[in-house]
Structure 1
Amino acid sequence: MESHLSPRQHPFLFTSISALVVLTAMLFNSTSLSPVVLISNLLNVSTPYVRNARTGVSYRGKSTNGVEHFQNIFYAEDTSGFNRFAPPVLYTPPPGTIVDATAAGAWCPQGLGGPPLPFTSLITNVSENCLSLRISRSSGTNPSGKLPVLVFLHGGGDALGSASDILYTPDGLVGKYVESPVIDEYVLMVNQVFGYATNEALRAARQGNVGLRDQRAAFDWIHDNIDTFGGDPGNVAAVGQSVGAMAIGLHLVSYSGTQGVPFQKAIMMSGASGTNFNIMSNLVADNTATVAKSVGCTQDPDSQATLDCLRRVPLKILMDTSVKLARQLRPPFGELAFYPSYDNDYIVGRPSVLLRKGAFVKGISIMGSWVTNDGAWYAQPTISDDASVLASFQTFVLGLSQTSLQRLLSLYPVSNFDYLVRPHEGATPDYYRAAQINRDLWFTCPVIDFTWQYTRFGGDSNIRLYDMNQTKFGPIFQYMGVPQWRVSHLSDVPYLMNEDVAAGGDNSPNQQDLSALLSGSVVAFAYSGDPTVSRGRTFKDWPVAYPDQSVQALSKEYPQEVSLYVVGGSQGSGPASVSSGTGSQVKSDREKALAWENVIERCGFINSILEEIGV
């Protein structure tokens, strides 16, 4: 959409003789290294070691540019064989083990080949033995530093992606510009049929949604072990983008909120539980049955025999079959052909209903967000009629009535989008119309509904929102021939990571300043739940999302006022508010632009038909 909103290093280093002695003693006491190996490792000052005194396990990492990386740290066993389609089996190496954590692990099963986008990684190494973590921290971090922990769940539509993707390089977030040191963790997410297969046998055994259970196991490992790396297990922020954010929302409503979550803050970027359409439908079960039949498992698709058969199918055959089906159903990448669904255990009902019952984990400070043109990918640029606009989302949103479809079209009149057209881009007003509807259906309205209901029903009033209105991907989109994408989905990831974009992105100084702004805000939020305060200094005006906490305001099904922080754009970064029926109350250029988006009325309608959407 048109941009119409138009290092600090931790001061603990092994530099003195006494510190070297302490390190030497630690290595002799905690490992089985021979003196020869020990001496060679002491000479290699770029090789950081961490030892968990409780488990007797040591981790050997790698230091680059002032950031220490520990990769491929397994928190659960290989998911192949009898562990396929089963809850994770937690894994701790035997005491005395020295884990080589210097190189990236395998990606979870997904389609091989070239990168989906030029600034992402080539997919070459996949395995079912992929339940591992990537941990990054500033070099010389004090083992007793109790640093806040950011745990990142990547996006990819439950179809592709990895913590090892170049897009998620953490160095800038951990050690370049942010004013406070953090420990950054990445969770590798299980994809395709391997993470979300379902049938009656799995539901009866309470073994559905193993992808979510794998993530939960990763958070549990972090809670039990992160202090070894200098992190604070009592100050963990879950950070998710797209389906990663969706997963965080589902964790918060898991078990109807009765079993808590092993994190204290949540940062949900372009997604919430309402992004997970059709959660009560048979779509995932039907897709599982289709895959089973295609690989020769012809028993009753709901039977234990079918599961046993699928567990014997070689990885490549099962992976290729499920990827092929997913891409046929949801071209081009196969997003959300397999996804979290009702299992009467981890997910006991529609999340929107659970939210309105107060059946969720409370006391979690939440930062939510969307991107100005989050829906840019879902429509063809040349569409020019209502039917094509509707078709842009009907592959995913299956249950909307004709009345609801017509109401959607009326809320987004094509004349509103004429001014966005740039002849050289070759996109029509209907394209931008479809992109805006998709943005609101997928991202903006789910975030607003989740955070509003969370506030209304006693979750936490400390909710912060932002709208990302700038991108580093512009030159790349021009090269790809899709300039109409503009500030698209994924645009805020490089700013969060505080990193330059590969493949010719816009890495100019003003973009670096914006990176420092967003990454610094996220780190401040991770420390204190307040994105405006870093180490005791207030440096921006970031409002609480729902400032009116009166009984009258909270009695309403949908918010009448939303406040947020706009990041980037021609009007500059800063706070803005939008209210129902504003007009004369509009004050700033940012607020005029927000009023044009009409999120109060549009999301009020979208969030009134959640049963049709299936969330």
Structure 2
Amino acid sequence: MFLSPYALLAFTASFAYAAPSIVNPAVPPVVVLDNATFIGSTNGTVSKFLGIPFAEPPTGDLRFRLPVPVGPYNGTYNVTQYGLSCPQQSQNLFFTPAPIPEGEDCLNLNIWAPSDIQPGANLSVFVWIFGGGFQAGSNSADDGGVIVQRSIELGEPIVYVSMNYRISAFGFLASKEVEEAEVGNIGLWDQRQALRWVQEYISTFGGNPANVTIGGESAGAISVGLQMVTNGGNTEGLFRAAFMSSGSPVPVGNITHGQKYYDALVNDTGCFGTADTLECLRQVPYEKLKAAVDKSPNLSSTQGVNLPWLPRADGIFLTAPPQHLMLNGSVADIPFISGDCDDEGTAFSAFAAVRLDIQTDEQFVDWINETYFSTTPAGRLDELFTLYPDDPAQGSPFGTGNRYQITKQYKRMSALQGDLIFQAPRRFLLEQRSGKQNTWSYLFKGEKDPFLLGFLGSRHASDVPTYFGPGQMTDYLVNFVNHLNPNGPTVDLSWPKYTNASTNLLTFTGESAPFQLNITQDDFRVAAMNEVTELSLEYPL
């Protein structure tokens, strides 16, 4: 048994919970939900229940509709294997990733919990939303047992949940037809439904529905930010804190900005000319629809991070562009952590820079205009191009001088894209909420010169092992989930809050773990990011 003060504190706070101990791994854990028995698995310390459906299968007439809550459970479920992942958009890479089982019947979630917990233990809950550019990814990508195991070792046990949500066109179809039918941002509604499921059932797994923190990376972090700004900032009691890794409310505009991709899908599926193209798409055989979706631009295309299937302002889930909602105060009043990697834009710039051979200033200007700001008047971007100069020493990977010019404009593209989609939105969110709620921020500058990947620097997602490793961020995260404060007796460095008066960043440096930790200030590229934010507010994607 764990006898640390934190274990005793957990016991004192909830008499229903006994400090963790090893249970017999040969005896599978069993929970009862409604009239059904769910049989999971355990390693003796952490139990897991995989592939539990939280909504009706979004197939047939339920395709391109908001999620329908699953009915009362009946029967027996063997939940020892992951469920299907939602349909993955092909990325047309030069290599073929290992396939994962996928299909439309994918609205399921996974739970990891200490093996000796009992219903009513009232442990804090961490709900994870995966990333993947809203085109790929799955709730099977990350092992929540790693974080639960570390929480047990700290004497601060938590319950971990990971959800699936519909992605690509299946979850983020965008057009005037979608807007009129009120079925925009389906993937975000899936996430909301999973959070409602947690409220109804998580106590059976030992979790406290009143103590839920939501978190995510990349598209998952963007999703977390959008869950914070929807509904006038009213969380409906679904969560009390948020953790965002490489993602904040993204600068997107109206849902009709995706019209050309919807029209292409309609044409490629044979639905052009039908009286109701959306209803026609519901009836298209899955294989035919999936093939048409796979033709749309992806993460390896040449249009950077301006992807076709993004969350957009639909008038319901997002009543306005997300950054406009923040200006109007439509943000959940909860503690949050938001951090980025130093070179967020490199991974999204390399394909375009090389495939289009972007070498000159003129090519760079044309690409930025066409990709992100096609509706801006002549001359409007002149200041932007001055602030992101044709100087590789000021480009990303930052701090690498003239090295890593895979094309002469690559580092410039990387700097601007990283700030436009990641760094500037993070800073804008923190600036808007300073003094209104408790906030913390971090910057990962580790692995700046990885073997054979120096041109990517501290690339997007390179911080993930710091919390899923487990690594140095794991303890901060467990503390935050339990106490709404990342600090605690086992962390390497006290992490001060972020305020406009003191823009503190917990900063990771070094080429490998354990990384050096320091507190630095969020004072880099201020004028450049202010211009990026102003443009984003005026001309959202």
- TM-score bracket for this pair, using the shorter chain length: 0.7 to 0.9
Structure 1 residues 117, 421: closer, same or farther in 2, change over 3 A? Answer: farther
Deviations 1:23-50 (A, max 9, x none): xxxxxxxxxxxxxxxxxxxx86252212
Secondary structure at the counterpart of residue 534 of structure 2 = coil
**Match in the other structure for 1:379:** 349
- Tell me the distance in 1 between the aligned counterparts of 2:363 and 2:127: 39
Deviations 1:149-201 (A, max 9, x none): 11111111111111112xx1223212047623221111112111111123444
**Match in the other structure for 2:149:** 175
**Match in the other structure for 2:140:** 164
Return the letter of the residue paired with 2:218.
Answer: S
**Match in the other structure for 2:534:** 608
- Tell me the distance in 1 between the aligned counterparts of 2:164 and 2:241: 20
Secondary structure at the counterpart of residue 325 of structure 1 = coil
Query: Is the 8 Å Cα contact of residues 323 and 334 (structure 1) preserved in structure 2?
Result: no
- Following superposition, the deviation at residue 472 of structure 1 comes to 10
Deviations 1:357-399 (A, max 9, x none): 11333x2111001101111113347754324444665565234
**Match in the other structure for 2:308:** 337
**Match in the other structure for 2:339:** 369
Secondary structure at the counterpart of residue 295 of structure 2 = helix
What TM-score do you get using the length of structure 1 for normalisation?
Answer: 0.76
Matched, 1:417 2:394: yes
Structure 1 residues 62, 140: closer, same or farther in 2, change over 3 A? Answer: same
- Tell me the distance in 1 between the aligned counterparts of 2:191 and 2:371: 24
- Following superposition, the deviation at residue 235 of structure 1 comes to 1.0
- Tell me the distance in 1 between the aligned counterparts of 2:486 and 2:40: 31
Secondary structure at the counterpart of residue 282 of structure 1 = helix
**Match in the other structure for 1:568:** 509
Q: Rg: which structure is higher?
A: 1
Return the letter of the residue paired with 2:132.
Answer: G
**Match in the other structure for 1:109:** 87
Query: Is the 8 Å Cα contact of residues 47 and 61 (structure 1) preserved in structure 2?
Result: yes
Which of 264, 270, 285 is 2:259 aligned to?
285
Whose RCO is larger (CA < 8 A, sep 6+)? 1
- Tell me the distance in 1 between the aligned counterparts of 2:53 and 2:182: 24
**Match in the other structure for 2:29:** 48
Which of 49, 69, 73 is 2:48 aligned to?
69
Structure 1 residues 402, 64: closer, same or farther in 2, change over 3 A? Answer: farther
Matched, 1:295 2:269: yes
Of the structure 1 ranges 151-160 and 563-572, higher mean CA displacement relative to structure 2 is found in 563-572
Structure 1 residues 136, 389: closer, same or farther in 2, change over 3 A? Answer: farther
Query: Is the 8 Å Cα contact of residues 326 and 334 (structure 1) preserved in structure 2?
Result: no
Which of 331, 352, 355 is 2:323 aligned to?
352
What TM-score do you get using the length of structure 2 for normalisation?
Answer: 0.86
Deviations 1:238-279 (A, max 9, x none): 101111111122222213335646111111111111x243x2
Query: Is the 8 Å Cα contact of residues 305 and 421 (structure 2) preserved in structure 1?
Result: no
Query: Is the 8 Å Cα contact of residues 93 and 300 (structure 2) preserved in structure 1?
Result: no
- Unaligned runs of at least 5 residues, structure 1: 1-6, 16-42, 500-514, 549-560, 580-597
- Tell me the distance in 2 between the aligned counterparts of 1:270 and 1:608: 21
Structure 1 residues 325, 226: closer, same or farther in 2, change over 3 A? Answer: same
Deviations 1:116-163 (A, max 9, x none): 999xx6224211100010111233234332222111111111111111
- Following superposition, the deviation at residue 402 of structure 1 comes to 4.8
Of the structure 1 ranges 182-191 and 142-151, higher mean CA displacement relative to structure 2 is found in 142-151
**Match in the other structure for 2:476:** 521
**Match in the other structure for 2:14:** none
- Following superposition, the deviation at residue 72 of structure 1 comes to 0.6
Matched, 1:203 2:203: no
Query: Is the 8 Å Cα contact of residues 77 and 88 (structure 1) preserved in structure 2?
Result: yes
Structure 1 residues 547, 104: closer, same or farther in 2, change over 3 A? Answer: same
**Match in the other structure for 1:99:** 77
Return the letter of the residue paired with 2:520.
Answer: A
- Tell me the distance in 1 between the aligned counterparts of 2:290 and 2:306: 14
- Tell me the distance in 2 between the aligned counterparts of 1:327 and 1:84: 22
**Match in the other structure for 1:398:** 373
- Following superposition, the deviation at residue 443 of structure 1 comes to 0.5
Structure 1 residues 70, 394: closer, same or farther in 2, change over 3 A? Answer: farther
Structure 1 residues 269, 70: closer, same or farther in 2, change over 3 A? Answer: same
More helix by proportion, 1 or 2? 1
Matched, 1:322 2:322: no
- Tell me the distance in 1 between the aligned counterparts of 2:366 and 2:110: 39
- Tell me the distance in 2 between the aligned counterparts of 1:415 and 1:498: 33
Q: What is the CA RMSD across the aligned residues, in angstroms?
A: 3.1
Which of 117, 121, 130 is 1:141 aligned to?
117
Matched, 1:12 2:20: yes
Query: Is the 8 Å Cα contact of residues 80 and 129 (structure 1) preserved in structure 2?
Result: yes
Q: Where does 1:236-315 land on structure 2 (aligned, <5 Å)?
A: 236-257=212-233, 260=236, 262-273=238-249, 275-277=250-252, 279-280=253-254, 282-299=256-273, 305-315=276-286
Deviations 1:195-223 (A, max 9, x none): 11234444234322111111100011011
- Following superposition, the deviation at residue 521 of structure 1 comes to 0.6
Which of 460, 467, 487 is 1:489 aligned to?
460
Query: Is the 8 Å Cα contact of residues 421 and 427 (structure 1) preserved in structure 2?
Result: no
**Match in the other structure for 2:12:** none
Which of 533, 554, 570 is 2:488 aligned to?
533
Of the structure 1 ranges 369-378 and 253-262, higher mean CA displacement relative to structure 2 is found in 253-262
Query: Is the 8 Å Cα contact of residues 126 and 215 (structure 2) preserved in structure 1?
Result: yes
Structure 1 residues 110, 415: closer, same or farther in 2, change over 3 A? Answer: closer
Return the letter of the residue paired with 1:609.
Answer: L
- Unaligned runs of at least 5 residues, structure 2: 8-17
- Following superposition, the deviation at residue 325 of structure 1 comes to 2.0
Query: Is the 8 Å Cα contact of residues 312 and 321 (structure 2) preserved in structure 1?
Result: no
- Following superposition, the deviation at residue 438 of structure 1 comes to 1.5
Structure 1 residues 377, 170: closer, same or farther in 2, change over 3 A? Answer: same
- Following superposition, the deviation at residue 61 of structure 1 comes to 1.0
Query: Is the 8 Å Cα contact of residues 276 and 340 (structure 1) preserved in structure 2?
Result: no
Query: Is the 8 Å Cα contact of residues 339 and 442 (structure 2) preserved in structure 1?
Result: yes
Secondary structure at the counterpart of residue 49 of structure 2 = strand
Structure 1 residues 135, 472: closer, same or farther in 2, change over 3 A? Answer: farther
Matched, 1:498 2:469: yes
Query: Is the 8 Å Cα contact of residues 524 and 530 (structure 1) preserved in structure 2?
Result: yes
Query: Is the 8 Å Cα contact of residues 90 and 298 (structure 2) preserved in structure 1?
Result: no
Query: Is the 8 Å Cα contact of residues 195 and 238 (structure 2) preserved in structure 1?
Result: yes
**Match in the other structure for 1:507:** none
